Amino acid sequence: MDQALWPSGLRVLVIDNNSSYLSVMEELLIKCSYKVTTYKNVREAMSFIYGNQQTVDLIICDVFFPTEDSLLILQEVTSKFGIPTVIMSSNGDTATVMKYITNGASDFLIKPLRIEELKNIWQHVFRKQIGAEHRKCNNAEHVDQLPYRTMGITEATATLDSEIRENNGTVTDIRDLRKSRLSWTMQLHRQFIAAVNSLGSDKAVPNKILEIMKVKHLTREQVASHLQASPEKFESKIAQRWRSFIIEP
DNA sequence: GGTTTAATAT
DNA sequence: TATATTAAAC
């Protein structure tokens, strides 16, 4: 293969709680002549990204089952900074892969990763950029405006024109007189999840979530309702019970 | 008495 | 099914 064709120096951030596999990944990626940064948890990795903006081109992240909210933190950051994310897992059942891909992951790779696969991951960086340009030209609705549970990005949905947005895409107002009830869009849901995560899963109550989200015309009741329906909340509760079950039987 | 959550309604 | 509303529980 022609070494010159590879985008050497691509800055890759790897997140995996298994430190031995983290070093395996680092070794493989360095062989691809990428620049590698490694982190053992999502939280630290995200603060690195916030502190060093535009120094990461691609993120490779392990699925941290059962605390899947890490994926949602990733989503928030990647959508904010436009960094493509590749998910890796030893378990590659179709439902799981589908779930991550439809939630914005650029690729889903099965462990153990071969260097042949890593040599090609740079394509996601370009694909993402091209996709963004394409969306701009077509004046297509943004993925963030789709309902957060939609399975396919091709599904047609009316845009919420009166969702007032800032430049970074953050929803600041949900008022829409055409709609009788609120629709939780991808972006609104991300902000919700970000708020839940910034509190703990134990301290995440409707009032505090609402306070952090800073979305005009969003009510405590709406947040409460969403919190009940939130699969993330549900799953983290299961995880919590799991832990307490294991620790104190 | 406000807030949260379970249950129920739409 | 997703969101809203009710009402019990905290």
In tens, the pLDDT along A106-123 reads 888 888 898 888 888 888
- Give yes or no for CB of A225 within 7 Å of strand B: yes
Q: Hey, what are A125's tokens?
A: 């960086």
Q: Are A13 and A25 in contact (CB under 8 A)?
A: no
Query: Which long-range CB contacts under 8 A does A119-127 form with residues at least 24 apart?
Result: A119/A1, A119/A6, A119/A32, A121/A12, A121/A58, A121/A60, A121/A86, A122/A6, A122/A7, A122/A10, A122/A34, A122/A57, A122/A58, A124/A58, A124/A84, A124/A86, A125/A7, A125/A10, A125/A57, A125/A58, A125/A84, A127/A84
- Give yes or no for CB of A216 within 7 Å of strand B: no
pLDDT score recorded for residue A70: 58
CA A134 to chain centre: 21
pLDDT score recorded for residue A166: 45
pLDDT digits (tens, 9 = 90+) for A84-100: 888 888 876 766 676 67
pLDDT below 50 — which residues of chain A? 1-5, 66, 139-140, 151-164, 166-167, 234, 236-249
Q: Are A25 and A60 in contact (CB under 8 A)?
A: yes
Distance CA A156, CA A152 (A): 9
User: Under 8 Å CB-to-CB from A63, ≥6 apart: which residues?
Assistant: A71, A87, A88, A89, A91, A96, A100
Could you identify the residue whose CA is nearest to the C1' atom of nucleotide C6? Answer: A221
The CATH superfamily of A124-244 is Homeodomain-like (1.10.10.60)
Q: Are A185 and A171 in contact (CB under 8 A)?
A: yes
- Give yes or no for CB of A208 within 7 Å of strand B: yes
Q: Cα separations (Å) of A132 from A12, A77, A84, A149?
A: 20, 16, 12, 22
Q: Would you kindly state where each structural domain of chain A is located, as residue ranges?
A: 11-119, 124-244
CA of A232 to C1' of B6 (A): 18
Q: Which CATH architecture has domain A11-119?
A: 3-Layer(aba) Sandwich (3.40)
pLDDT score recorded for residue A110: 85
pLDDT score recorded for residue A111: 86
pLDDT digits (tens, 9 = 90+) for A191-203: 888 788 777 777 8
- Give yes or no for CB of A222 within 7 Å of strand B: no
Distance CA A206, CA A182 (A): 16
pLDDT score recorded for residue A207: 96
- Give yes or no for CB of A182 within 7 Å of strand B: no
CA of A214 to C1' of C6 (A): 26
Nearest nt to the CA of A185 via C1' is C2
CA of A136 to C1' of C1 (A): 32
- Give yes or no for CB of A205 within 7 Å of strand B: yes
